[in-house]
Structure 1
Amino acid sequence: MNFEEKLSNVELKIKDPSLKPDYYIFDYDPKYELKIRNEVKYLKDKINNSHIGIKIIEFDLYEIILDILKSKGYLEKTFEFEKKKGRNLAKKAVTKMLKLSMDSNLIVQYIKERYSPDSIIFITGVGKAYPLLRSHNVLNNLSQQIDDVPVIMFFPGKYSGLDLLLFNTIKDSNFYKAEPLIK
């Protein structure tokens, strides 16, 4: 199935009443990132303005990181820290502040506090959030917190059903409970 065919099936899949609360991945060639962003916006507008009884809530991982840093007063400090100490130390500091390796992961808490039981969660911004955030971290931690709605991650790379390959080159962890959204 080519990209256009795969993309055209997303709307049908999310409107399908048999779509169960589970974790799904829509993988795509990173060269289609802008098309994916447009399609996500289109789907949100169309579904959220219809009367079919579901709501799409998009969580852009990069925007969440920025929002958390701003709300804690760390955004400008992070830029200054990176200038003084370098990118690697700034990444470590942000990762620690976001508690990404803990049960109290701030990204997961952010999503958990803002979704509703009648929704479908779209997770976007995976590529933009790299290298600060790895998608397997979000999926593994989120799956322990939210299990009552469908969660769809739009992933710029390849998903084999087990392995994620970000940008078709960077291997991520290989433990996933997600299934491909479109097979």
Structure 2
Amino acid sequence: MSLEGRLSALGPALLDPKLLRGRGLGNEIGFYIFDYPPERDPDVQRALPKVVQVVEAGGIQVQVVDLYRTVLGLLEERGYLDKALALEEARGPAALQGALKPLLSPGKVADAVARQAQGAELVLLTQVGAAYPLLRSHSILNNLHERLDQVPVVMFFPGTYDGQQLRLFGLFKDDNYYRAFRLLPEGSQGVNP
């Protein structure tokens, strides 16, 4: 199935009662990865409002969480955003990443995501690629397990996920992560738990 076909099928797939229960038959956590070619990220971002509209029309409360804006918000509320931008310009991204590591620990970011998700029946995580290298996908998902264990979470991932390994942009191998299901993998007709 093409990306356009997968995006068209996404709204109905997100309304699947099996997905919305938040847990699989074996009591697996309801986390899903919608992976796609990184160069198609603008297409996915454009399609997302329509997907949300379809799901909300089905009576489900959706919360879209932009991980990049979440990071910026955490820095801004602590008064570090301008300092972080200046540090990156002066000393480069590696120095910035090292300096921000304590402020942007996966637990703190997961707490911020959970605050945004309060009252939601479905959480969609976006802008994973924009938040790299400050955030690692597997770390965020691991830390969300204890915070959003009853709410299904879908991470929109610009790269590949084979059910065990996340490769951001198809290049950067993240640590193994095998607790999420691929949502609408190519050739599928629905949720793949």
**TM above 0.5, one fold?**
yes
User: For residues 12-27 of structure 1, what are the structure 2 equivalents within 5 Å?
Assistant: 12-19=12-19, 20-21=21-22, 22-27=30-35
Displacement of 1:84 after TM fit? 3.4
Asked if the contact 1:60/1:124 (under 8 Å) is kept, the reply is yes
Corresponding residue number in structure 2 for 1:61: 67
Equivalent residue for 1:128?
130
Aligned to 2:170: 168
Is 1:112 aligned to residue 114 of structure 2?
A: yes
58-67 or 116-125: which moved more?
116-125
C-alpha RMSD of matched pairs (Å): 1.5
Unaligned runs of 5+ in 2: 23-29, 186-193
Instruction: Structure 1 unaligned segments of length 5 or more: list them.
Output: none
Q: Does 1:97 align with 2:99?
A: no
How many residue pairs are counted as aligned between the two chains?
Answer: 177
The residue aligned with 2:93 is 87
* Maintained 8 Å contact 2:11/2:52: no
Letter in 2 for 1:64: T
Residue 39 of structure 1 deviates from its aligned partner by 1.4
What is the CA–CA distance in structure 2 between the aligned matches of 1:84 and 1:38, rounded to whole Å?
A: 34
Aligned to 1:140: 142
Deviation at 1:81, TM superposition (A): 2.1
Provide the C-alpha distance between the structure 1 equivalents of 2:62 and 2:48, rounded to a whole number of angstroms.
Answer: 9
The answer to whether the 8 Å contact 1:117/1:148 transfers is: no
Distance in 1, matches of 2:101 and 2:61, equals 31
* TM-score, structure 2 as length reference: 0.86
Task: Name the amino acid aligned to 1:60.
Answer: D
Provide, for residues 130-154 of structure 1, a one-character-per-residue CA deviation record: whole Å limited to 9, x for no partner: 1111111101111122111110000
Q: Matched residues in 1 for 2:90 and 2:177: separation?
A: 36
User: Which of 42, 47, 53 in structure 1 is aligned with 2:55?
Assistant: 47
Q: Percent identity?
A: 36
How far 1:67 moved relative to its partner?
A: 0.7
Would you identify which runs of 4 or more consecutive aligned residues in structure 1 move more than 6 Å?
none
| Counterpart in the other structure of 1:75 | 81
